[in-house]
Structure 1
Amino acid sequence: MTNKSKRVLLAGATGYLGNYLLSALKREGYWVRVLVRSDAQRERVSLADEILIGEVTKPETIKGITHSIDFVISTIGITRQKDGMTYMDVDYQGNMNLLKEAMSTSVERFQYISAINGDKLRHLKIFEAKERFVDQLKDSGLNYSIIRPNGFFSDMGDFFEMAKTGHVWLFGKGDKRLNPIDGEDLAKVCILKMQSSERECTVGGPDILSHREIGQLALTALDKKIKIICLPDFLRIFIIKLLRTFTSSKTYGPYEFFLTAMADDNIAPQYGQKHLADFFKEKAL
């Protein structure tokens, strides 16, 4: 069966990765159905062959959504809480509602996009929900593909925003390393893995960089002097504890994740052709 004969349901098409996935799927010749939350989002997914309006958190609005679909790709998840929803509401239950539809029509494969080391960081709120869904997906009886990408280039925007002030603030020595990946490169990997026999895949970009090096790239792109200030690591730990004590998971969840991730190397197998230095240079224009 050719790509043109394959039908894909893409959930999360209006997000950072989803947008790249839609473009890449169409370039590869797939027929694509997308799910959006409102009519106002139609323009953002105009490349799709079919646009359905519904919300994964409201199962009655997605009834029959996987009818005639071969592959489901879900990028559904929230980084910063919105609309009063929690990680369990969206990352877990929303994806579960989608999975139940997929199981009812026996799709060929269900691909879910989690994040690097999610299986090792289940104690964090953001991963508690994601990996609980992963468990259910593995037990569903469906053929599945789990992609765990490193940080996106867009996530490195925090370094860029700091660099605009002329300083970049880091914890510890700033020597922890990662290899963030561009959305276009990641979309290509997702499509490649969608039809492979590999069930789980961790993915990163081509350049392995320390936090200090990322800060330097951001400052250089903005034509700023290299001013990097390293704070004692105990402050990072104190901030996490403070947030957990005085705020709800809706507030502290994303900060808990980013601050925890900063304490270790997060290096994934290297893919892609896009470089973070070029991304920063484009943002600086």
Structure 2
Amino acid sequence: MMEKYKVLVAGSTGYLGRFITQELINRGADTTIIVRNKNRINLKAPNLKIIEAQVTQPDTLMGVCDNIDIVISSVGITRQKDGLTYMDVDYQANVNLLNEAKKSKVKKIIYISVLNGDNLRQLKIGEAKEKFVDELKTSGLDYCVIRPNGFFSDMADFLNMAKNGRVYLFGNGELKLNPIHGQDLAQVVVDAINQNVKEINIGGPDLLSQNEIGELALKAYSKPVKIIHLPNWIRILAIRLIRIFTGPKTYGPIEFFLTTMNMDMTAPKYGKHHIADFFNERVKSKHSS
């Protein structure tokens, strides 16, 4: 079924985008990716086409969606340092892509946002992502919004604390989440091509409390379990202070992490990759490098 679709992937060089691209290639889809610099891409496949363009510059996108059936976008700021804001990238860059998709009469757009996005609009990243979701819903095109509750790579913050022998949590640490590996999430994203559903909430196979994730991170470093529970007012104060004393590029990811740490981020379970294995492999690779 996949072979009949021509799929364009934006954000293909990011953590999730790389997995999505590989999943499409593996399934035999006619795959096109947008990159800033072709020379930095080592990936080769008979069913892969690489286009050089910048999603933040609409003039470079002209015609990228011609003869494309499906557009998949995981475009968003992680820790970019080129002066662009969340509104420039997570919103406007995706709007630029959406405009091209409309011109070319693309069948469907699949966009990766975040779980509980409506409750995160007060954050810079949430505001930008959900503003684009609003545009997508009124675009007239078929669409699907994928809402993961966090990637394994986001859980590196637990490892960074565990390395020093202590994990700091806010409140009692009993709020739960089940982050998902990029490879598992890529399967969900590509499956959505053939599904008639508008939104998909998704997480990994392990539903764990913050305390349990902290324990796994400490065990990965062979450290005794030392988890310090801080009062919630410190978290609120920290968010206020980083907003005052740093710019959006710095405080955006921290603000998001601190906010979601005070939310139940439970999502439907999916996948075969486990967070304990991810932690162990990450620590092992650091020791061997």
Query: In which range does the TM-score fall when normalised by the shorter chain?
Result: over 0.9
Q: Quick check: 1:81–1:251 contact (8 Å CA) kept in 2? A: no
Q: Quick check: 1:122–1:131 contact (8 Å CA) kept in 2? A: yes
Equivalent residue for 1:21? Answer: 20
Give the Cα–Cα distance (whole angstroms) in 1 for the partners of residues 144 and 54 of structure 2.
Answer: 23
Unpaired segments ≥5 residues, structure 2: 285-289
In the TM superposition, what is the alpha-carbon distance from 1:80 to its structure 2 partner? Answer: 2.7
Equivalent runs, 1:46-65 vs 2, <5 Å: 46-47=44-45, 49-65=48-64
Give the Cα–Cα distance (whole angstroms) in 2 for the partners of residues 164 and 244 of structure 1.
Answer: 27
1:67 aligns with 2:66: yes
Give the Cα–Cα distance (whole angstroms) in 2 for the partners of residues 209 and 35 of structure 1.
Answer: 36
Q: Quick check: 2:38–2:51 contact (8 Å CA) kept in 1? A: no
Equivalent runs, 1:170-185 vs 2, <5 Å: 170-185=169-184
Q: Quick check: 2:25–2:48 contact (8 Å CA) kept in 1? A: no
In the TM superposition, what is the alpha-carbon distance from 1:81 to its structure 2 partner? Answer: 4.3
1:20 maps to amino acid: F
Q: Secondary structure at the match of 2:185?
A: helix
1:147 aligns with 2:134: no
In the TM superposition, what is the alpha-carbon distance from 1:256 to its structure 2 partner? Answer: 1.3
Give the Cα–Cα distance (whole angstroms) in 2 for the partners of residues 30 and 39 of structure 1.
Answer: 20
In the TM superposition, what is the alpha-carbon distance from 1:238 to its structure 2 partner? Answer: 0.4
Equivalent residue for 2:116? Answer: 117
Q: Quick check: 2:109–2:141 contact (8 Å CA) kept in 1? A: yes
Give the Cα–Cα distance (whole angstroms) in 1 for the partners of residues 145 and 257 of structure 2.
Answer: 21
TM-score by length of 2: 0.95
Q: Secondary structure at the match of 2:271?
A: coil
Equivalent runs, 1:22-171 vs 2, <5 Å: 22-43=21-42, 45-47=43-45, 49-171=48-170
Q: Give the count of matched residue pairs.
A: 283
Q: Quick check: 2:165–2:226 contact (8 Å CA) kept in 1? A: yes
2:277 maps to amino acid: D
Identity %: 53
In the TM superposition, what is the alpha-carbon distance from 1:193 to its structure 2 partner? Answer: 1.4
Give the Cα–Cα distance (whole angstroms) in 2 for the partners of residues 236 and 80 of structure 1.
Answer: 21
Give the Cα–Cα distance (whole angstroms) in 2 for the partners of residues 270 and 154 of structure 1.
Answer: 18
Q: Secondary structure at the match of 1:256?
A: helix
1:15 maps to amino acid: G
In the TM superposition, what is the alpha-carbon distance from 1:254 to its structure 2 partner? Answer: 1.5
Between 1:143-152 and 1:164-173, the stretch displaced more is: 164-173
1:204 aligns with 2:230: no
Give the Cα–Cα distance (whole angstroms) in 2 for the partners of residues 81 and 59 of structure 1.
Answer: 19
2:24 maps to amino acid: L
TM-score by length of 1: 0.96
1:46 maps to amino acid: K
2:232 maps to amino acid: D
Q: Secondary structure at the match of 1:73?
A: strand
Between 1:242-251 and 1:147-156, the stretch displaced more is: 242-251
Give the Cα–Cα distance (whole angstroms) in 1 for the partners of residues 75 and 69 of structure 2.
Answer: 18
Which runs of 4 or more aligned residues in structure 1 lie more than 4 Å from their structure 2 counterparts after TM superposition? Answer: none
Q: Quick check: 1:110–1:144 contact (8 Å CA) kept in 2? A: yes
Q: Quick check: 1:14–1:41 contact (8 Å CA) kept in 2? A: no
2:142 maps to amino acid: N
Unpaired segments ≥5 residues, structure 1: none
In the TM superposition, what is the alpha-carbon distance from 1:39 to its structure 2 partner? Answer: 2.8
Give the Cα–Cα distance (whole angstroms) in 1 for the partners of residues 14 and 179 of structure 2.
Answer: 17
Give the Cα–Cα distance (whole angstroms) in 1 for the partners of residues 122 and 167 of structure 2.
Answer: 29
**What is the RMSD computed on CA atoms of the aligned residues?**
1.2
Q: Secondary structure at the match of 1:169?
A: strand
Q: Secondary structure at the match of 2:223?
A: coil
